Amino acid sequence: MERLRSSPLHANISTALDKHLESIHVVQARRKDEIVNPSNRQRHGPPRCQDERALCQATRKVRTVLWCAFQMTLPK
């Protein structure tokens, strides 16, 4: 999008994408732990639903941010 626009996008766009990727990695790591240790699922760390909720919030935010960036990129 930056190439189409010929100028850099707002820094919050990159931040939102980074937070979304970080949330994905956290949930993936949690899933791998669950597969390796199925019997100790609830003893390790905070509940899984908090990670999923954070991923859901990050996904909603990144969708909105990318839509806004796309709207700024479109020709007028």
pLDDT of residue 45: 60
Q: What distance in Å separates the CA atoms of residue 12 and residue 38, rounded to the nearest whole number?
A: 38
pTM: 0.74
pLDDT of residue 44: 58
Above 60 in pLDDT, residue 22?
Answer: yes
Above 60 in pLDDT, residue 41?
Answer: no
Asked whether the CA dihedral 6, 12, 15, 17 is positive or negative, the reply is: negative
Kindly state the tokens that stand for 68: 């806004």
pLDDT in tens, 46-73: 667 888 899 999 999 999 999 998 998 8
Domains in the chain: boundaries = 2-73
pLDDT of residue 54: 92
Question: SS3 of 56, please?
Answer: helix
Strands annotated E in the chain: none
Q: What distance in Å separates the CA atoms of residue 53 and residue 75, rounded to the nearest whole number?
A: 36
Do residues 44 and 37 make contact, with C-beta atoms less than 8 angstroms apart? yes
